[in-house]
Every structure is written in structure tokens, then in C-alpha cells.
Amino acid sequence: MVGTIELNSRQQKILNIVKEYGPITGESIAEKLNLTRATLRPDLSILTMAGFLDARPRVGYFYTGKTGNQLLRENLRKLKVKDFQSIPVVVTSGVSAYDAIVTMFLEDVGTLFVVDEDGLLIGVISRKDLLRASIGKQELATLPVDIIMTRMPNITMCKKDDPLLDVAEKLIERQIDAIPVVKEKGAGFEVIGRITKTNVTEALVSIGREDG
């Protein structure tokens, strides 16, 4: 489970009881609330899963002392690149700036990754790179993207198991829109996905929309 949860009034009451009397058994909490243990079971498991309470066998429930924000932060760190990445759009070294523009429109992306004949990452080409080339005097149909792209080793990359939060930070720090998700292949990197500002926005929405 990811995100903060809104506690209902019974869950809030349970939390207060555990704060005051914990460690306390489920049975004793139920008694204080004049409810059965079975009625409380779903609330106790929600509070435990969300990280507000911890349960120890033969001891009972105790309050973890974590605030909603702390729990949100912990849960945010659990979001991984692989759960939000999109399919990468790649072009091969030597393709023209003109074809790169066409590819961006057809594939509906703002960033292309340039790979060599072995499929290894050698460059990144963004909308602005292509706009900059378009205001020059060059003939776009004969201008290879290699001349205008950002090249290795200056490419910001990430791995599929990286925390999404770290990648989001890099997008902001480096003022870029997309980061290739790569895996090592021989002496280089193969592109297996991409993370864009849109993916980070999707992650935010998925947290906000999640029930409980």
C-alpha cells in the first residue's frame, strides 16, 4: 500500500487507545471499545499495514510513533522506476534531424534515444535540440542527429530498480524532461525504458487516487 490514508473515527479511537495503553492485545482494545475482536480485525490490519501500528506475537499492538508524513515518505521511496517507466523510442545513429522530428510526431514523444548499430546508447535528442538545428542554416534532411544530440558520457541514466523519487530529483536538478532506463550490455548500456515528467505525474496521481 502506498500513500497516506484517511482514518475513520473507529481507527482513530484504536490509535488513541494503543498510544495510551500499548503494548495492548486486540482483545483488550476490543473490550475498551465494547466491540468484538472480530469487528476490530479489519481496522487493526489497516492500521498495521499503513505503518501506524506494529504487532508483536504474545505482546500485542504498539504505536510506531510515525506521522502520516513519515509514512508517506517511506512509501514514496518504495515506488520503483520499473513500475512507472514507459516504452523508449530509439533511433539509430546517422538518422537525419528531419527523420527524428517525424519520429517524435509519429510516436508522440518529446525525447528520442540514439543507439549505435549494436543497440547501445550513444545520445539523447530533445525537442529543443531539433528546434535549435531548425533555426540554423543546415539542411535537416541531411543533418545527422549525431551532430546535435547530447552524447555519452553526459547522459543522465537510471536503472529499473532505482527509486522513482531519485529519478524525479534528477529530472528537476538537470532540467531535463526524460531519462533513459538502461541495463548494462557489454561495455555500454541498452535502453529498456524511459522515465519522463509525465510518468512522475502519473505516480503522484496513482498515490492520490488509491483507496486506503
Residues near ligand ADP (CB under 6 A): 110-111, 124-129, 150, 154-156, 175-179
Smallest distance from ligand ADP to CB 47, Å: 41
Buried-state track 164-198, b at ≥16 Cβ within 10 A, e below 16: bbebbeebeeeebbbbbbbeeeeeebbbbbbbbee
Q: Which is nearer to ligand ADP, 91 or 178 (CB)?
A: 178
> What's the grid cell of residue 128?
529543443
Measured from the CB atom, is 69 or 175 closer to ligand ADP?
A: 175
Rounded least distance, CB 78 to ligand ADP, Å: 24
**33 or 152: whose CB is closer to ligand ADP?**
152
Q: Provide the minimum distance between the beta carbon of 164 and ligand ADP in the complex, in angstroms, as a whole number.
A: 15
Q: How far is the CB of 179 from ligand ADP (least distance, A)?
A: 5
Q: Name which of 5 and 164 has its Cβ closer to ligand ADP.
A: 164
Q: Is 139 helix (H, G, I), strand (E, B) or coil?
A: coil
